[in-house]
Chains A and B, each alone.
Chain A
Amino acid sequence: MLPRSLNTSRVFVAFLLLLVPLSLLTPLSAEDWIAWRGAQQDGTSDAKNLVESWSQEGENLIWRQDFIGRSTPLVFNGRVFVQGRAGTGIDERELVAAFDAETGEQLWEVEIKAFLTTVPYNRAGWASPAADRESGTIYVQGVGGMFLALDEDGNTVWEKSLLEEYGRYSGYGGRTHTPLVDEDQVIISNITTGWGKLGAPRHRYYSFDKRTGELLWVSTPGGQPYDLNTQSNAVIAVINGQRLLVGGNADGHVYALKTRTGEKVWEFELSKRGINSTPLVVGSTVFIGHSEENIDEAVLGRTVAIDGSGTGDVTGTHEIWRQPYKMGFPSPGYHDGRLYVMDNSANLYAVNPENGEHFWEYSLGTVGKSAPVIADGKIYATEVNGRVHIVGLGDEPVRLDMDEVEMPNGRYAETYGSPAIAYGRIYLATEEGLYCIGDKDREFEVSPSPALKLPAEDRGSDKPTVIRVMPAEVEMTAGGTADYRAVAFNEKGRQLGEVDASWSLDGVAGSIDEDGVLTTAGDRSQAGEIVAKFGELEARARVRSFTGLPVTETFDIDGRGRAYWIGAGRYQVTELDGEKVLEKPVADRGLLRSKMFIGPHDLENYTITADVRGGQERRRKTDGGLINSGYILDLFGIDQKLEIRSWTAELRMAKSVPFEWEMDVWYTMKMRVDQFPDKAVIYGKVWKRGEPEPDEWTITAEDTRPVRRGAPGVQAYSPASFYFDNVRIESNS
């Protein structure tokens, strides 16, 4: 280890005040910051004559806006797009906002609904937006699993409820993947526990058509995740002439997938815990790190260089070097033959990419979560405790500036995002505000950033080696139709075009014609697979098809449950007192609390009724109840109360009333959500089964920032078995 003497002073030391006049005559690069790590995915900008100091009080501070940010801003088409959080009480929300990059004027904000999530408010807005330079569309993923495509004015182009459609796991940690736009796709990844073959919890990659939101492919490259909240964003590379998506997975591996099909090309086992660092690819070398257990040594953390040109399991064969940098959360940067690595303790290293040895080390503070940005011979880097460093590069690092961004009360401002450099300015989101830093006299000029520079792809042969059915999954109305197509790709993952496949159904009641048009049976809700065959090649897609309301579910089912339920792994149909019922049993392993969705994700203005029965195990009692439109009606056993809530971690609109509730006794619960232009009203009532339904609602809550629609479902916390029966879902009208 190097002595810390180089860098340990927290006091700003002006080693050199060269005071180069910031010439207005020099042609200045003025490009967008198109993705969270910049256009080249390496944390660099070609900008010149950037300022070497600033202050929260005003030096080189062009503008500042009230905004609580935790992510890296995107600067695109003259606008700054940034994710964050805002509001107090019932107004607490995650949001994405757009600001004029020149003046800082706020142009719009869009709430990203957080519901049925245990991620706390102050971790909301952890992912960064992504942009499509062709259409100007902005993509954001919220901590609660809403995935939005917005036009430049903030209008919804399309949206996905990843929780209700794909069983996205929420968790508590809040680490959320930043979307990645590549060619015609926008790709995200999450831990999901969906239905059917995608029911087991895995860290999966989902590719959507960036224009329509159609699901193109789902890839499950790995195994059981070690962690349920990770944040290794994927990057794009071309290696061996093949276009790859490279990312760290929650199962501790790094995977390279063919971008257009999600097929796995290689895997590298790195850690016994989930990977949070975003990889960097230079040529064919992949640099990535972690800070947890290694697979082959009882020390924590490692940064590796992987030769990305292999196939299959390259763990033992393609490691170029390993070094003990604990780059668990930060991500590396690369410029001019040097790799810049920050570790979890906010030590910054200038590293030789050939062997991983460092030229120098520089302390940025104590907690590193962001990624260094390199421009104009300087590094701009943030540290969680509000420290913003500008470091001159050379044989030795030079401390040009260090500012500590503070909250009004003097506490440091949490800073998890990295700087964005665009139009000759530095944009920075902190807990305290959104900052635009630069030379106030410099002319403001907008221009697009260059496209991602990648080596040429090898076109490969014209022989199909794999087909994919698109869309990969559809949620539809029973009796309706859905169009599928089979698309062929060659060995390099290049799309060869649509092919004339033969179609069949697996587990779906209905028909599919020779053009791939599916018509599902109109008399039932169901889920199953669509099979396409083209010569020797086969591919499958999925469908969930739902009847309209009302629906009744009495659980008279052979087997564990219905194929179309989402997140059903912890529920089972069982027999109790001679009746088939739904049971949420005590879990042998894992959590006792679990929710399950039993209907389509876009229902609104409906009522769900069910019989429920809780239980007791010594000092502990069950909780449980119903889900309607993103709201929960929950009976608490220990607390003997009835609660309505939406955002579980924040209780922003929650209401509760005392409620005497006996264990091992059947009750009936009813939950209704009415949508109004300015609010949603949520009603709940509970009574002993068999007794007359009370006229009055037991509990009522209002939400002036309403969730507008959502899947019906059940949820329970089960130290003892919790039972449901006779679920009925009906329209309010």
Chain B
Amino acid sequence: MNRLTLALATAGALTLGSVAFASNDAAMFGNTPSRNMVSPETGLLSSWDVDEGTGVLWRQKVGSQTYAGPVVFDGKVFVGTNNEGTRREGIEGDKGVLMAFDEATGEFLWQATHDKLGAGRVNDWPLQGVCSTPFVENGIVYYVSNQATVVAADIDGFRDGKNDGPKVDEKLTTEIDADILWEYDLIGELDVFPHNLAAGSPLIAGDIIFTTTGNGVDEGHVNIPSPLGPSFVAINKNTGELVWENAAPGKAILHGTWSNPAFGVVNGTEQVAFPGGDGWLYVFEPKTGHLLWKYDLNPKDSKWELGGSGTRNNVISTPVFYKNRFYLGVGQDPEHGEGPGGFFAIDATLEGDVTDKAKVWSVEGEEFNRTISTAAIHDGIVYIADLSGFLYAMDAETGEKYWTYDTFAAIWGSAFVADGKVYLGDEDGDVVVLKAGKTKEVISEQNMGSAIYTTPVANDGKLYIVTRSELFALGAGD
């Protein structure tokens, strides 16, 4: 099942990569297309207290389950959630929802509302909402809905008084509804069969949006009903038309396709890296979809077992591009429980099947549990959490462990590094703040009142954290 397999794929965040992206051009899962969970922000709180209100600039109820966002851009904060918060009067029942809030005041601005797919849980798990963290740039919010549509929406919703197109036949058109510009149906157009939920957090490079599709097994968990449907797609961000698609893992998909693409430039060559549902990392030329290289993240003798007890893993963690390498971990749907995982640093400069030659280092098996988290890499140190609740600080060059911190709770989101600190939320709703560096030093721990399945982000000296049911803006205030 999957409380969220999906989720993971989506926990929101921030970054700063070695690729030259200014973080104020766009906002996305992992701040920049490198997906590195690091931010150059400063002046962030080291502790706060949501019960007392200390450090809380504003707080807003969202749905009852939240796995996407927050992302902050152009004065707005976006969160993917479900409809249990019923912020849109007149819309009740189970829906996928993307909410927009005012960054300064927390005011609820508008929401996109998506019906659930008729097929039910196998394609669109009940009450999980929108699990895609949006990509936001140039007045447009791009995300993947629970209906497995790639959506482009006006950042202002209908609050600007205009119904921008080409799509102008929205059913909901009050000023707190979403102004959808276009929508591309991955099921209707490409026969994708998202397992449990399409949860890809899109990435844009140039004019192309990249996302995973969720393609996977049917309800029996053995058969891939649509192996010819793509796992990876590239769509023109201006027209909403397909640029290329790739169904490479096909029948080899183990469960679903829930990771996210990451982008890097290697010796002048652009690369977009897609983890496949078969546990391989596939890296393509972004404009053409031509395969550059691929890497098998599982040992050849590993075994996939239904229900989760096996040693073969898929990838839910998002790769991070850092200094001509991709860093990522392997794991499974959290419903499958804890187990042996792995975390890899892979050389991105080779071509073809690089399984036997591209591994720079890895920690595997006993040394690293299954993870669905994404890495933060800063000052040569990798901060990566696993599902079992451990946060590791490791040398980015060698994988040597500097320290381990035990949260004593499951971790679905990712560690976020900014302002010399590491922020990490867990399933018990605790956020631990540690000092970034080679020595473990806990600064504070605070409970947010509800489980955290997302990653903190920062903007303009403020922290944003969304729990399962509430969005917080945290800062020193004026």
Residues of A within 8 A of B (CB): 1, 4, 8, 10, 118, 120-123, 171-174, 226, 272-273, 292-294, 298-300, 345, 347, 363, 365-367, 384-385, 410-412, 414, 431, 587-593, 618-620, 623, 638-639, 648-651, 717, 719
Contact = CB atoms under 8 A, between A and B. Distances in A.
Contact of A120 (B221, B450, B468): B221
A638 B227 contact: yes
B221 A172 contact: yes
Contact of B220 (A122, A173, A649): A649
Contacts of A294: 64
A307 to B, nearest CB: 26
A615 to B, nearest CB: 14
B471 to A, nearest CB: 12
B218 interface: yes
A121 B222 CA distance: 12
Contact of A649 (B306, B447, B469): B306
Contacts of A650: 306
A384 B221 contact: no
Nearest to A347: B428
Contact of A414 (B94, B122, B309, B430): B309
A1 B63 CA distance: 22
A591 B119 contact: yes
Contact of A273 (B85, B119, B126, B227): B126
Contacts of A623: 223
B338 A367 contact: yes
Nearest to B428: A345
Interface string B426-438: 0111100000000
A589 B120 CA distance: 7
B389 interface: yes
Given A118-B219, A120-B306, A414-B337, A366 B64 contact: no
Contacts of A292: 127
Given A345-B427, A591-B120, A363 B408 contact: yes
Contacts of B340: 411
A508 B122 CA distance: 39
B118 A589 contact: yes
Nearest to B226: A620
A722 to B, nearest CB: 13
A8 B408 contact: yes
11 contacts: A4-B428, A226-B126, A273-B126, A294-B64, A298-B64, A299-B468, A300-B468, A412-B338, A591-B120, A591-B122, A717-B218
Contacts of A410: 366
Interface in B388-426: 388-389, 406, 408-410
A351 B218 CA distance: 42
Interface in B340-367: 340, 366
Nearest to B448: A1
Given A174-B307, A345-B428, A638-B228, A273 B127 contact: yes
Given A273-B126, A367-B338, A300 B308 contact: no
B84 A293 contact: yes
B68 to A, nearest CB: 16
B225 A717 contact: yes
Interface of B: 1, 61-65, 84-86, 94, 118-120, 122, 126-127, 190-191, 193, 218-223, 225-229, 251, 305-309, 337-340, 366, 388-389, 406, 408-410, 427-430, 447, 449-451, 468-469
Given A298-B86, A300-B64, A366-B408, 17 more contacts: A123-B307, A172-B1, A172-B219, A298-B469, A299-B469, A300-B65, A300-B468, A345-B409, A345-B428, A366-B388, A366-B410, A411-B339, A591-B219, A620-B228, A620-B229, A638-B227, A717-B218
B225 A719 contact: yes
Nearest to B127: A293
Nearest to B449: A1
Given A172-B220, A589-B120, A651-B222, A618 B309 contact: no
Contacts of A363: 408
A299 B64 contact: yes
Contacts of B410: 345, 366-367
B371 to A, nearest CB: 14
Contacts of A649: 220-222, 306
Nearest to A2: B447
B65 to A, nearest CB: 7
A12 to B, nearest CB: 15
Given A8-B408, A174-B307, A620 B119 contact: no
B122 A121 contact: no
A648 B220 contact: yes
A366 B389 contact: yes
A593 B337 contact: no
Contacts of B450: 299-300
Nearest to B84: A298
A298 B61 contact: yes
A684 to B, nearest CB: 18
Nearest to A591: B219
A648 B219 CA distance: 11
Contacts of A588: 118
A134 B449 CA distance: 50
B314 to A, nearest CB: 16
Central interface residue in B118, B366, B406, B451, by most chain A CB within 10 Å? B451
A619 B226 contact: yes
A347 B226 CA distance: 41
Given A293-B127, A620-B225, A648-B220, A589 B191 contact: no
Contacts of A592: 119, 218, 225
Given A123-B307, A299-B469, A618-B191, A593 B219 contact: yes
A384 B309 CA distance: 12
B126 A4 contact: no
A620 B191 CA distance: 7
Contact of A1 (B307, B388, B447): B447
Contacts of B219: 118, 171-172, 591, 593
B296 to A, nearest CB: 21
B1 A173 contact: yes
Nearest to B467: A299
A222 B95 CA distance: 24
A619 B190 CA distance: 8
Nearest to A343: B428
A521 B408 CA distance: 67
Nearest to B221: A172
A367 B337 contact: yes
Contact of B309 (A122, A347, A587): A122
Question: Which 6 A-B residue pairs are closest in the complex by CB-CB distance?
Answer: A120-B306, A589-B118, A619-B191, A118-B220, A298-B84, A120-B307
Contacts of B339: 411
B377 to A, nearest CB: 26
Contacts of B305: 120-122
Given A345-B410, A649-B222, A651-B222, A590 B118 contact: yes
A347 B427 CA distance: 12
B338 A366 contact: yes
